[in-house]
Amino acid sequence: MTDNVNSPMHYIGDIECIDAIEASMSPSAFRGYLKGNVQKYIWRYETKNPENRVEDLRKAEWYLKRLISLKLEAIAETAEFASQSPFKRAEMLQTQRGTSNDTNDI
C-alpha cells in the first residue's frame, strides 16, 4: 500500500522535494511554508472525499511535526549559545558568518 503522507509516489527521487524547498528559502520563509501547508490541509480536509479526509489531516500533522522539530532545534541552539562565555559566543557568531579573528592568516 502506498503511503501518500510520508512517501507519495510522485515525490520519489534522488532528492526529497521538501529538502530542496528548504534549501531554497531562509529559515523564516521555510517555517512560513510549513505553517501554510498545515493551514491548507486543515482548511480543506472536510471538503474532501470522506476516504481522503484522514489523509489530509495526516499531511497537516506531518508539516506540523516538521515545524515543531525546527522550533525545538532553534531552542536547543539558543540555549547552547546562551550557556557559552561571551568570548565563545563571539567565536560562534564569527564562525556562523564565515569570518575569522585569526591573526595567523595575515
Per-residue pLDDT tens digits for 47-67: 988 988 999 999 999 999 999
Asked, for residue 45, whether it belongs to a domain, the answer is yes
Bigger pLDDT: 2 vs 17: 17
Residue written as grid cell 506540523 = 64
Put simply, whether the predicted model's pTM sits higher than 0.85 gets the answer no
Burial bucket for residue 47 (CB in 10 Å: 0-12, 13-18, 19+): exposed
Burial class (CB in 10 A: 0-12, 13-18, 19+), 99: exposed
Which residue segment(s) compose the domain that 25 sits in? 9-105
* Position 59 in a domain: yes
**3 part of a folded domain:** no
In a domain, 1, yes or no: no
Query: Does position 87 have pLDDT exceeding 90, yes or no?
Result: no
Residue 35 inside a domain? The answer is yes
Amino acid letter at 84? Answer: Q
Q: Determine the 3-state secondary structure of 7 from DSSP.
A: coil
Counting the structural domains of the chain, the total is 1
Q: Is residue 4 part of a domain?
A: no
